[in-house]
Amino acid sequence: MKILHTSDWHLGNQICGRKRYDEHEQFLSWLLSLINREGVDILIVAGDIFDATTPPNRSLEQYYQFLARAAGSSCRQIIITAGNHDSPSLIAAPRELCKYLNITVVGQVPDDPEELITILKDLDGRPELIICPVPYLRDRDVRTMQAGESAGEKAANLIEGIKARYHAIGSCAEKMREEMGDFIPIIATGHLFAAGGITREDDGCRDLYLGTLASVGADAFPSCIDYLALGHLHLPQRVCGNDRMRYSGAPLPMGFGEAGQTKSVLMLDVQDSRNMSVKEIPVPVFQQLRRISGAFEEVLKELGRLKMEYSPALVEVILEDPRIIPDASERIRTTIQGSPVEVLKVKAQRISAQAMQPERAEESLAGLSPEEVFHRRLDAAEIPKEERQELLESFHEIYSELLEEDTNSE
């Protein structure tokens, strides 16, 4: 039995305002070809199907067209769970229709673990796989808020709530396995920040659970789980080096911080709970991203080299130059004129010779994260350092609640 694990498609994502519909269409077509070529039995998408809770209509169309085509492929079962970027109600809305296509969609975890668990049977009707499709667990899903909690107490209670949820689901799955056969594999999903997880600057990962104070340890997951298919982190990686607890990573780079990274999906070859192998399958590069940094002349030279290659590329330029160059943008445009190279962003990081500290260049609001904007506001108000931590904790909590608000549920 072959299981394909992917996550973090982020349909509808933009880079510096540039829409990426063509890239996503190419990825979904490639993924469908892979499913048919490899004879994949089960497809798991572990959250963040969309980039926002209210995705563009074109992204919805791409998603549903893919599901319709995948339902007619070699796949016997498709598992879709909501991530922190997704609207739980939007993901779950076509649930009853999807059942007829052997597609399981889970927006929010039910109170009863048995309602969550899916048992996949072989062609002879015998159970061959137990699937626990756990979506992103929101704060309100796993704990009761208490007045006067510190950020540390909230994080600890949240971790305990997540752990309790997974162990309740695992206990139910283990009981089912004992009734059906000891070696039936148990596959679970998750969308969270595991302790020790690796991220990169500008990779599009939102901090979860009060700014990653509550990163989830490997002990949160019961030992009965034979493979944990994770989403949220965009770099493919193992949890604590465990080959059976893995992030597939995002199939497309979400920002220039991921430029040059090899993206992948994961293929599981499963015999039973004792015999299972996992291999990474690289995803083709559908749109080259480049980050070029250095002194102004070095940047122009590198852009000229890219122009000579005549290869389509989206570029971020970081000027590391002590000088103020008034016509920098115009000279950059002239350098790449007539080529498929497109510079989407230019950042200046001038160095003060006296203080040897980076000076802030002119910044646009679009180029700053909400947390960076909040830091700027603290600086402008000259808030003392000793008062900032509590304000930042409150900001993270309020911002997380705003992100988790499901505007499609009413």
Structure tokens at 298: 């070095």
Distance CA 192, CA 47 (A): 10
Can you give the residue ranges of every domain in the chain? 2-282, 288-404
CATH number of 288-404: 3.30.160.720
User: What is the CATH code of the structural domain delimited by 2-282?
Assistant: 3.60.21.10
- Give dist(CA 149, CA 226) in Å, integer: 36
- Locate all alpha helices (DSSP H) within 181-317, ordered by sequence: 209-212, 296-309
- 362 contacts: CB under 8 Å, gap ≥ 6: 348
CB 291 within 8 A of CB 315: yes
**Nearest Cα to Cα of residue 348 among 326, 325, 319, 324:** 319
Q: CA–CA separation, 380 vs 360, rounded Å?
A: 14
pTM given for the model: 0.84
pLDDT in tens, the chain (410 residues): 999 999 999 999 999 888 999 999 999 999 999 999 999 999 999 999 999 999 999 999 999 999 999 999 989 999 999 999 999 999 999 999 999 999 999 999 998 989 999 999 888 888 899 999 999 998 878 766 666 667 677 778 888 889 999 999 999 999 999 988 778 999 999 999 987 777 766 555 555 444 444 588 888 899 999 999 999 999 999 988 888 999 999 999 988 888 888 999 999 998 877 888 999 999 999 999 999 998 888 999 999 998 888 888 999 999 887 878 778 888 898 999 989 999 988 887 754 433 334 444 445 565 566 777 887 888 887 788 777 777 777 776 676 666 666 666 55
Retrieve residue 383's tokens: 């808030």
Distance CA 91, CA 60 (A): 10
Residue 368: predicted pLDDT: 65
The answer to whether 184 touches 128, Cβ cutoff 8 Å, is yes
**Rounded CA separation 305/320 (Å):** 19
Asked if residue 321 lies in contact with residue 296, where contact means CB atoms within 8 angstroms, the answer is yes
Give the pLDDT of residue 95: 93
Closest residue by Cα to residue 223 from 259, 173, 268, 269: 173
State which amino acid sits at residue 309.
E
Distance of CA 169 to the CA centre of its chain: 23
